[in-house]
Amino acid sequence: MKQLSICRPDDWHLHLRDGKMLAAVIDDTSRHFGRAIIMPNLIPPVVTGADAAAYRDRILSCLNPEHHFTPLMTLYLTETTQLHDVADAAKRGLVHAVKLYPAGATTNSASGVRDLEKVMPVLEMMASIGLPLCVHGEVTDPKVDIFDRELVFIETVLDPLRRRIPELRVVLEHVTTSDGVDYVKNGGKTIAATITTHHLFINRNHILAGGIRPHYYCLPVAKRESHRRALVRAAVSGDQSFFLGTDSAPHLDTAKLMACGCAGIYTSPNTMSCLAHIFEGESALDRLEGFTSLHGPAFYQLPINKERVTLVKQSEPVIYPKSRATPDGELTIFDCGFPLFWAVKS
């Protein structure tokens, strides 16, 4: 196959940041994607409907008028989140999900939830109106090994929560383990998972073997090769429970290349080329559209994008820049470690 036409894809987990960084990176998403679930972990976080409306306006003000892109806003769940504010924002179509960050789990998560009991009324209301909960699925107990934090979260937090509120629709974001994949596969219609671009390519050796490679450091951290293979199998399976959420997370190189560097990988520019490479290698190009364009809208109960994009396989590799220039410095783009031959022709 040398050419593939698919419905315009969506990104169901995206960081756009704010200010100058937002302006520098928005085109890399809006060029290829029709919609994206926008993460709310700004400083200060997006915690109210008013915050979400203002952030959406800032995103739209930076948008290339030739790009047809819709930001889907989320709220950052805190222990003081107001139930009526969430309900109103959802009713108005302003927000499409609420994000649960365990406090301290990842970038800008200090305002996250420490005691789940304090947010139960909000979660019960969300279940009643069908508003999805997006979860960063890791515990933050320092006694738990960083490579086990997803599994322990599923066992001690997520599964008990879903048993308590079975109607709650949950997205286990950036799943990284075979345990997470199995849990979602067997979890019924109220749970789904996003899979990132980079977790389909890298395992923990890419970060640590032969020297520390900070541009491959992310949270949740990449796991063993057996887990990476489980993610690939899930992505190419055609199972509607799994869909693309890049978790593309721009950080300046100066913030990555330091003694305590930031977690995050910037994949928006080359994600579609990367995914075509993976799916072709698994003889599953016919399932790429489902993963990128169909399964996510089905779970979020949104229409499929009417526009289409075409991917063309070139005889020579697609050349992506190594970094993006921003007013404050360079931003490194994900290097998947392979030449990419599939180019997006919108």
Token pair recorded at residue 76: 């950052």
**Quick one: tokens of 39?**
């993460």
Cα–Cα distance measured from residue 117 to residue 184, given in angstroms and rounded to the nearest whole number: 24
Q: Residue 132: which of 187, 78, 71, 90 has the closest Cα?
A: 90
Amino acid code (one letter) for 134: C
Residues making up the chain, counted from first to last = 346
**Residue 69 · residue 34 · CB < 8 Å:** yes
Give the span between the Cα atoms of 81 and 75, in whole angstroms: 9
Question: Do 276 and 201 touch, CB atoms closer than 8 A?
Answer: no
Q: For residue 3, give the amino acid letter.
A: Q
Q: Are 140 and 109 in contact (CB under 8 A)?
A: no
CA distance 99 to 89: 14
CA atoms within 13 A on the CB side of 206: 20
285 in Cβ contact with 4 (< 8 Å): yes
Measured in degrees and rounded to the nearest 5, phi and psi for residue 265 equal -130, 135
Does the annotation count 247 as an active-site position? yes
Which residue out of 247, 253, 286, 335 is catalytically annotated? Answer: 247
User: Does the CA dihedral 96-101-105-111 come out positive or negative?
Assistant: positive
Decide: 306 and 293 in contact? Cβ < 8 Å.
no
C-beta of residue 113 within 8 angstroms of C-beta of residue 103? yes
Q: Structure tokens of 239?
A: 């199972």
- Residue 109 tokens, joined: 């998560």
**R_g of the chain, CA atoms, integer Å:** 19
Phi, psi of 78 (to 5 degrees): -125, 170
**Which residues are identified as catalytic?**
247
